[in-house]
Structure 1
Amino acid sequence: MRVLQLIDSLEAGGAERMAVTLANTLSETIERSYLCATRQEGLLKTSLKPEVSYVFLNKRRKIDMSAIFKLYSYIKKEQIDIIHAHSTSFFMTTLMKWIRPNLKIVWHDHYGNSSYLEKRQYGVLKFCSGYFSLILSVNSVLESWAKHHLKCPEVIYLPNFAVQDRDTLPVTHLKGQSGKRVLCLANLRPQKDHQTLINAFRIVHDDYPEWTLHCVGQDFKDRYSKSIYALVEELGLNDHIYFYGSCPDTDHVIQQADIGVLSSASEGLPLALLEYGLGSLPVVATDVGDCNSALPKACHDFLVAPAEPQLMAERLKVLMGDAAQRNQLSDLMFQHVTAHFSAVAVTDKLKVLYSQL
């Protein structure tokens, strides 16, 4: 079995990290594992294992004949059986299916705005879905949506999973006082609603001024990120909230933190929560998408409504003021994630699905 993971970029987003993780994990158990980035390389390229064959298309426009021919030639040369396309890379995959009809196409839906599916533009996706053999959805809402709106007859819920990368060199050192750090793993995008988190931290700061917030994720240097920095400045929190951009050593970053937080307005099944769990962090998160499935029931008191900074602040203060409870919940998070979102369980299921194609 020869499987190519197809993704638009290798920047450190959730879909991108999942594509790399799948390529790496599958390289241990199938004949050949491949990964193709269509538009842009990025930080995650260094995370690919040597066993994964890699190709970059440098695609510049929607119909880029040079990129199309390069991918077609690569698929033909390597005799690839299955293209596993992630998120917006489905159009290029459909073109390959037209050229090589025997290819099997799997499309992986990581759509983060699953709370706002009524606004999703999906005309081209609906047309292309008629060429898919299988759709994988990262949460139950997306699974139901695909069954009702797309043409592919086979739709399966497949949860995300996280793995720890012990081989990456530790290069990121968090500021602030050890034992009093809150970590947010999220790219600076509106969906992640950093405003709610920052406003919550302003409330927290009055009672716990020694605690600091550390935001790790790609900065797109757009209007949204500028508004975030302006809010931190306005609230006088420059010495208590720190931004690091994308970091290659996520595991090392998590090891330096004491609480994980996610303030998203909408989610699928966020990889960040699974990484917090593997890193034994207690979590405060918004109750959106399938976030509740990433936390054991004993931790559900720490799920709050989105866009409610006061509620988020109250939950954060509970954990900040009780080290024993932090330790207890961190153990529960680790046990839950390793039991339900392990790489072995998910990739074994995926290989069965591949073989059935």
Structure 2
Amino acid sequence: MKVVQLIDTLRAGGAERMAVNMATVFSQASIDNMLIVSRETGMQADRLDSRTQLQVLHKKGSLDWRAFRKLLRLVREFSPDILHVHSTSLYWGVPLKWFLKDVTLIWHDHYGLSDQLKEGDRKIERFCSSWIDGVVSVNEKLKNWAIQDLGMQSKNVVMISNFPHLKELDRFKRLNNEKVILFQLANFRPQKNHFLAVKSLKILLDKYQLEAELWLAGSTELDQQYTVEVNQLIEDLDLSDQVQILGEVEDVEDILEKASVGLLTSDSEGLPVSLLEYGLAALPVVVTEVGQCKKVLENGKYGVLVPVNDERLFAKALKELLEDYPKAIQMGEEFHKHTLHSYGGEKFLMNYKQFVESI
């Protein structure tokens, strides 16, 4: 099996981290693979296995014919069995399929607003469906959407969970912390609802009289107006000394070692890679009940689930977790074991190969 992956960028983001993680497990399994980035690389490129071929097209727009010709040449020369396109890279994957009819086109659907999908949404994806050979969905809602709304045959759609991959870290380092650090790894976009994290911190400090800091990591450039609004809320609530906006971080392992609790405050998700990274780092977590989070945490067995956009319940959950932190640490350790067993790269690869062979 030879695989070419196509993705828009390698900046911070769940789909981008998954593309790099997949390249890593392909290389570790001695599967020839190439990762083609259509626009620009980013910090995720530094995490690539040296055996993976990386190519960048520097695409200037959706109709950049020069970049498309380079893409076509690269794929023809590599001669893959599988063309695996992530998210909106499908829009170039389909024209590529027109020229390379023997390649199997797999679309990896990471759509983060799966909880808000309505009938008639995603018209371009519907148009592209005739040329898609298989769909990998990151949660059951997206799998069902691909069958019912996209019109794919059920045998050509599979739900395969994301998986994390981190450098070695000391997951017990946080026991020596002199301060409580609440950590959220999420790009600054409206669906991530950083407002909930900030408001919950305010309640934790004022109502429950617990000292804590909030560290927010993720790209601040994807929706600059949203970033401005988050900063304004921090200022309005007089939390400038307690909240750090870190932007994109190169060494997330260093922060995961220091963090006391991992947060996810999204209004909608697919299967957040950041949650699985919290698990790999044995981090106690408080997350909103969106996407696959409930399934990942097995209904609260491995972390605390809170309804969407309820800062009072979110703050209360944080308070209870912090007041019995030894119990929280034990829950984090169980989450670590669960993540290794149920969301490892080897399991992903086994399921992926079985799916590809069945198409």
The TM-score bracket by the shorter chain reads: over 0.9
Asked if structure 2 preserves the Cα contact closer than 8 Å seen for 1:179 and 1:257, the reply is: no
Asked if structure 1 preserves the Cα contact closer than 8 Å seen for 2:37 and 2:55, the reply is: yes
Partner of 1:126: 126
Partner of 1:212: 213
Partner of 1:294: 296
Asked if structure 1 preserves the Cα contact closer than 8 Å seen for 2:302 and 2:331, the reply is: no
Please say which of residues 330-339 and 289-298 is displaced more in the overlay. 289-298
Aligned partner (choices 254, 263, 266) of residue 261 of structure 1 = 263
* 1:142 paired to 2:136: no
Partner of 1:74: 74
**What SS does the corresponding residue of 2:28 show, helix, strand or coil?**
coil
Q: How far apart are the structure 1 equivalents of 2:190 and 2:351?
A: 33
1:32-111 equivalent positions in 2, closer than 5 A:
32-111=32-111
Letter in 1 for 2:261: I
The offset of 1:342, in angstroms, is 0.9
The offset of 1:33, in angstroms, is 1.1
Letter in 2 for 1:217: G
**What SS does the corresponding residue of 1:280 show, helix, strand or coil?**
coil
Partner of 1:228: 230
**What SS does the corresponding residue of 2:301 show, helix, strand or coil?**
helix
Please say which of residues 11-20 and 27-36 is displaced more in the overlay. 27-36
Q: How far apart are the structure 1 equivalents of 2:239 and 2:111?
A: 32
Q: How far apart are the structure 2 equivalents of 1:209 and 1:119?
A: 45
Cα 1:120/1:236, change in 2 over 3 Å: farther
* 1:202 paired to 2:202: yes
Q: How far apart are the structure 1 equivalents of 2:303 and 2:47?
A: 35
* Per-residue deviation, residues 35-61 of structure 1 (Å, max 9, x unmatched): 011122211111111100011111112
**What SS does the corresponding residue of 2:117 show, helix, strand or coil?**
helix
Q: How far apart are the structure 2 equivalents of 1:159 and 1:300?
A: 17
Question: TM-score, with normalisation over the residues of structure 2?
Answer: 0.93
Q: How far apart are the structure 2 equivalents of 1:211 and 1:128?
A: 48
Where structure 1 has 5 or more consecutive residues not aligned to the other structure, the ranges are none
**What SS does the corresponding residue of 1:152 show, helix, strand or coil?**
coil
Q: How far apart are the structure 2 equivalents of 1:198 and 1:76?
A: 49
Please say which of residues 115-124 and 287-296 is displaced more in the overlay. 115-124
Q: How far apart are the structure 1 equivalents of 2:229 and 2:122?
A: 30
Question: TM-score, with normalisation over the residues of structure 1?
Answer: 0.94
Cα 1:166/1:119, change in 2 over 3 Å: farther
Partner of 2:351: 349
Letter in 1 for 2:205: H
Cα 1:304/1:70, change in 2 over 3 Å: same
The offset of 1:294, in angstroms, is 1.6
**What SS does the corresponding residue of 1:239 show, helix, strand or coil?**
coil
Please say which of residues 309-318 and 113-122 is displaced more in the overlay. 113-122
Asked if structure 1 preserves the Cα contact closer than 8 Å seen for 2:200 and 2:315, the reply is: yes
Partner of 1:315: 317
Instruction: Report percent identity of matched pairs.
Output: 33
The offset of 1:300, in angstroms, is 6.7
Cα 1:250/1:213, change in 2 over 3 Å: same
The offset of 1:338, in angstroms, is 1.2
Q: How many residues align?
A: 350
**What SS does the corresponding residue of 1:159 show, helix, strand or coil?**
coil
* Per-residue deviation, residues 206-250 of structure 1 (Å, max 9, x unmatched): 234421111111111611000001100111111111110011111
Partner of 1:155: 157
Cα 1:147/1:328, change in 2 over 3 Å: same
**What SS does the corresponding residue of 1:27 show, helix, strand or coil?**
helix
* Per-residue deviation, residues 316-343 of structure 1 (Å, max 9, x unmatched): 0001111221122111211211111111
Where structure 2 has 5 or more consecutive residues not aligned to the other structure, the ranges are none
Q: How far apart are the structure 2 equivalents of 1:31 and 1:298?
A: 37
Q: Tell me the C-alpha RMSD between the 2 structures.
A: 1.8
Letter in 1 for 2:134: L
Asked if structure 2 preserves the Cα contact closer than 8 Å seen for 1:24 and 1:33, the reply is: no
Q: How far apart are the structure 1 equivalents of 2:329 and 2:25?
A: 30
Asked if structure 1 preserves the Cα contact closer than 8 Å seen for 2:285 and 2:303, the reply is: no
Asked if structure 1 preserves the Cα contact closer than 8 Å seen for 2:195 and 2:233, the reply is: yes
Q: How far apart are the structure 2 equivalents of 1:301 and 1:262?
A: 11
Q: How far apart are the structure 2 equivalents of 1:16 and 1:302?
A: 27
Cα 1:211/1:120, change in 2 over 3 Å: farther
